[in-house]
Amino acid sequence: EKDAITINFFNEYFKGIDLCNIAEIMDMAQDLMGLKFDDKAYIALMLHTAIAVKRINDNDCISADDIKLKNLKNSIEFNIARIIASRLEKHFNISVSKPEIGYIALHLMSSRARHIESTEDADQSMDKVEEGMLDFITDAVEKFESLLNVNLQNDMELQHGLLSHLVGMYKRYSLGVQQANPLKDEIMKQFPLIFSIAKNIFTGFGQRFHIEIDEDEIGYITMYFAAAVERASNKKIKRVYAVCPTGVGGAQLLMANLKSKFPNIRVIKCMSMIDAETIDNAKADAIISTVELNNKNIPVIVVSPFILEKDMEKITDVLSVRSEHQSYDFSLGKIYGQDISGFISMISDAAIFIEKVVRVLGISISNETYMGLVIHILLQICRGEHSSIPLSMNAYKEDHVSYEIRKAFKDLEAKYKFKVSDYDVFAVRSYLIGKESNADE
């Protein structure tokens, strides 16, 4: 069901773009390169190509200044990218510029870099570079462990992911090509400590391999370590007994709230007060109860079945686990796979917000505007409290449209703990401006 929601979401966003045709072109690219992309590379190339087609259709083409083509033109990947571009032009009736071809070539190079580990005839000098990179990654992981007090040594996903990224970065640098990171500012905001550590450690990587690592690359590296830290924290599962003598309903409420607010807590069993006061079980880290009780063998945490803020603090203090819902902080880690149910809930809430505004204003909007608004609202929620935005608001005046938008934002503000600024209202209003007349057509 979740996969269906995601597929429908992307099908709507890429409406009019036949993803099956793009998949066929990707298969052709694999044959021409003589390799098979892994899942991540295949999906990344698919999405980039679909976004490029949509951008070209919207007359939002990148300029020649956005990419250095000089060192790319003689590469095999650039020639294959030209073939891909030719197929795209034929299928979608568009004109693909050289900068767009260059970006496709970069993604092909990245895909080839992922494949290097399993290629028998890999260049020996590159093998030595990779060996040096693995040594550096091992040292970097140890430093992160020491500074963050977390165990990352056995995280093969971290090591393989970093190696793949660093090999691709090394090749891009050798071609004189830089890759911007559109999420850099958000990453620095969400993971300031990890970003700072990564910047300090990987400055040494740049010196060792004679390449320049800018903050865009540090941002990508930060994401690998942030995901690894999240995985490590998720492994620290605490096992508890639950006690709620008010009946089955109260017990179910307690367990549901524990599951929702503390994903790292597992309720072994729901038991009576009498059993809870006499049990001596080393398998349990604590007893979480809605009533006072005595047990000298296992810590007892007394809470409300609703698990209020003060209750979450008690549980955190005793069990050293983090609550996922104290401030509804949807970090990048959660959005990209760690809390997909929460992300789907955000999409639903954004849709409700839009429908409420559209209904009150008596307007109709296109599917494209609807999808744009959904994405915009999600980004607003994820940004949280806004910093100053470089936009003059002198000409902004509150009218009935802005008033209804601000009013509809109240529920989102309360649930996701962020403050709506004049700019937020202005941005949503910009999506809707001129749409009111549609209701009369």
pTM of the model: 0.38
Alpha carbon distance 356, 350 (integer Å): 10
Q: Please provide residue 122's backbone torsions phi and psi, each rounded to the nearest 5 degrees.
A: -60, 145
Q: Cβ distance 37 to 72 under 8 Å? A: no
Angle between helices 400-416 and 367-383 (to 10 degrees): 50
Measuring CA to CA, which residue among 313, 287, 283, 290 is closest to residue 298? 287
Question: pLDDT 10s digit of each residue in the chain, 441 long?
Answer: 333 444 454 566 677 788 788 888 888 888 887 777 776 677 777 877 887 888 788 777 665 444 456 666 767 788 888 899 999 999 889 998 888 888 788 778 766 655 544 444 444 555 667 788 888 999 999 999 888 877 787 788 888 888 888 887 887 777 666 666 767 888 888 889 999 999 999 988 888 888 888 898 898 899 889 888 877 776 667 889 999 876 565 677 788 888 878 878 889 888 888 888 888 876 789 999 988 888 888 999 998 877 888 888 899 888 877 665 444 343 434 433 444 456 656 776 787 888 888 888 888 887 667 766 777 777 677 655 443 333 333 444 567 888 888 888 888 888 887 788 776 787 788 777 754 434 343
C-alpha to C-alpha distance for 262 and 321, rounded to whole angstroms: 7
| Strand positions, DSSP E, 180-258 | 238-243
